[in-house]
A and B are shown apart, each in its own frame.
Chain A
Amino acid sequence: MLHAVLPIPWWRLLAVGASLALLLALGQALHLRIGRMALVSSLRGTVQLVLVGYFLGALFSVRRFELVAATFLVMLGVAARASVGRLRRPLPGLGWLASAALGAGTALGVVFMTAVVVRPVPWYDPQYVIPFAGMLLGNAMNGSSLAGERFQEDLRSRIAEVEARLSLGLSGPESVHPLLTRALRASMIPTLNSFAVAGVVQLPGMMTGQILSGVAPVVAVEYQILIFFLLMTSTAVSTLLFLLMLRSRYLTASHQLRVDLLR
């Protein structure tokens, strides 16, 4: 028998802090030096989540397009910064490229969800758009930074291979194509793996959340399938766009590899 989610009173939530105390005690006893790290991360995460909870509550009740758009842009900016920040070889202006790539891929997924599959009313209903956009953006961010990192490292370690192709008269894009493909495939692996074992090893996060809040498992599965397909597509689109933009930074109009940027 399904029932609505059971609310947790705040004083009972505090009890979960006992698990942290256990971890801290364990760390202390075994000299694991994880206490400070665990404490800071948990406090930071808790404060962040409480603030987000209140913010989303307000956003869902107001339901104004400008606020939804502004929220999305802030999320996009943070995601782009994070994905570029993880690259070991930053280039000027890369943040804008990442914003464009992540924005395009995520927008594609969100539009597909609102216009074709779920069709909330109004179409920008923040209760649907924000969580969806968040999931897509997070995945696209991880995909882009993984792919960008791999592509840069491959370029650096395979200068001779790329120049061997250029020397046979292949264009710049043709010469780096195998590297680009490898980077794209590597970045897709986590998403595809999670799809491959979905529901067998663990229930996906969104599905778990919906089931806990009383949604029938079959409905939760529908949403999970939707999010899987959108995740795959929007991550691939964002990552590919990011790689194409990154590629253009490493090639000149005369089909030369910018070796100077790779030293």
Chain B
Amino acid sequence: MTALALECRDVAVGYGSGRAASPVLAGVSFGVSRGGRLVVLGRSGSGKSTLLRLLNRLVEPVAGAVWVEGRPIVDHEPLALRRRVSLVGQAPIVFEGTVRDNLATRPRHVEAPSEDKLARSLEDVGLSPDFLDRVADSLSVGERQRLCLARALVSDPSALLLDEPTSALDPKSLGVVADLVLSLAERRGLSVVAATHQPELVRRLGAPVLLLENGAANASVSAEDVERYLDGR
């Protein structure tokens, strides 16, 4: 049996401690195979972001276990793990400096990526290498979103975690990003977990759906369930 790329086993996350603790996720279990895809669907505040942050160990579960590439997540060195399981956050945050500076952001001990690699990362997300010397702050929201995606690709990850990748985009751009994610996953053999509340993105990605409601997960939802959930919004 091949190990799953990402797996959650009966995971719970809570903020605060003692009686004041409020559960964000409870009893969440699912698995994503290597090169596989999963859409995490839920309304805002349902724990989608927390679930993604769990998979690159920005948060710790209070119960259950997270496994990455066949090993408990705690057995991975957290910084190396985050370069293999790349999270692209909901807000398209760009750092000070040029697009090149953004793409070259890395831990001190990691060698600088080659010019070729930077250009390829940009091309992979549909941006021209001419963007390298542009000031990151001057980019449009859509371009920033692509830059964030390209930045996450520079470390050659094996899995991509996308938090609401299209929430700031118009319907046309949503379709473009969805196609981009699909082709990237295909070309690079990436496992992809995308969290969204947008019906259109769920349909475009055509991946198995994990439905999050009030912190609890339902991994065995049928296509009809999803449609009903989306229509009932």
Instruction: Give the docked Cα–Cα distance between A248 and B216 (Å).
Output: 33
Contact residue among B15, B80, B88, B90 (Cβ-Cβ distance under 8 Å from A169): B80
Does B124 make an interface contact (CB < 8 A)? no
B79 touches A169 (CB 8 A): yes
A156 to chain B minimum Cβ distance, whole angstroms, is: 15
Number of interface residues of A (CB under 8 A): 20
- Whether A167 and B57, one on each chain, are in contact in the complex, defined by CB atoms closer than 8 angstroms, is no
- Smallest Cβ-Cβ distance to B73: which chain A residue: A254
Report the minimum CB–CB distance from B161 to chain A (whole Å): 8
Check: B58 CB closer than 8 A to any chain A CB: yes
Q: From the candidates A160, A166, A178, A260, name the one contacting B16 in the complex (CB within 8 A).
A: A260
Instruction: Decide: B58 and A166 in contact? CB cutoff 8 A.
Output: yes
Do B79 and A161 touch across chains, with their CB atoms under 8 A apart?
no
- B93: A residues at CB distance < 8 A: 160-161, 164
> Within the assembled complex, what's the spacing in Å between the Cα atoms of A259 and B50?
12
Closest to A163 in B: B58
User: A220 vs B9: C-alpha distance in the bound complex, in angstroms?
Assistant: 72
Q: Mark B52-90, 1 if CB is under 8 A from A, else 0.
A: 010011111000000000000000001110110011111
| Contact partner, A160, options B57, B89, B110, Cβ 8 Å | B89
A167 touches B89 (CB 8 A): yes
B15 touches A167 (CB 8 A): no
B96–A168 contact, CB under 8 A? no
Chain B residues with CB under 8 A of A254: 57, 60, 78
Determine if A256 and B59 form an interchain contact, defined as CB atoms under 8 angstroms apart: yes
CA distance A164 to B82 in the complex (A): 11
Interface status of A255 (Cβ within 8 A of chain B): yes
| Min distance, Cβ A147 to any Cβ of chain B, angstroms | 20
Which of B189-207 touch A at CB < 8 Å? none
Are A256 and B16 touching (Cβ within 8 A)? no
Q: Which residue of B lies closest to A164 (CB)?
A: B93
Give chain B residues whose Cβ lies under 8 Å from the Cβ of A211.
none
Instruction: Contact check, B107 vs A169: say whether CB atoms are below 8 A apart.
Output: yes
Confirm or deny: A33 has a beta carbon within 8 angstroms of a beta carbon on chain B: no
**A165 within 8 A of partner (CB):** yes
Q: Is the CB of B89 within 8 A of A164?
A: yes
Do A256 and B110 form a contact, CB below 8 Å, given A164-B89, A178-B96?
no
Cβ–Cβ contact A260 & B83, under 8 A = no
Q: Considering the complex, which residues of chain B in the window 110-128 have a beta carbon less than 8 Å from any beta carbon of chain A?
A: 110
Q: How far is the CA of A168 from the CA of B86 in the complex (A)?
A: 7
Are A256 and B60 interface neighbours, CB within 8 A? yes
Which residues in chain A, 128-163, are within 8 Å of chain B measured between CB atoms? 160-161, 163
* In the complex, chain B residues whose CB is within 8 Å of the CB of A174: 107-108
Say yes or no: A167-B86 contact (C-beta < 8 A), given A255-B79, A260-B16.
yes
Interface string of B143-165 (1 = CB under 8 A from A): 00000100110010000000000
Chain A residues within 8 Å of B86, by CB: 167-168
Interface residues of A in 165-199 (CB under 8 A from B): 165-171, 174, 178
Residue contact B58 to A168, C-beta cutoff 8 Å: no
A240 at the interface (CB under 8 A from B): no
- Cα(A160)–Cα(B152), bound, Å: 15
> Does B91 interact with chain A (Cβ within 8 Å)?
yes
* Contact of B220 with A by CB under 8 A: no
B229 within 8 A of A: no
Give the contacting residue for A168; candidates B57, B91, B106, B108; CB below 8 A: B106
A-B contact pairs, 8 of them (CB 8 A): A163-B87, A164-B95, A167-B89, A168-B83, A169-B80, A169-B83, A169-B110, A260-B16
Top 7 A-B residue pairs of the complex, sorted by shortest distance between their CB atoms: A169-B83, A167-B87, A164-B93, A169-B82, A169-B79, A254-B78, A160-B91
Other than the known A161-B93, A163-B87, A163-B89, what 9 A-B pairs have Cβ atoms closer than 8 Å? A167-B56, A167-B58, A168-B106, A168-B107, A169-B79, A170-B107, A171-B107, A256-B59, A263-B15
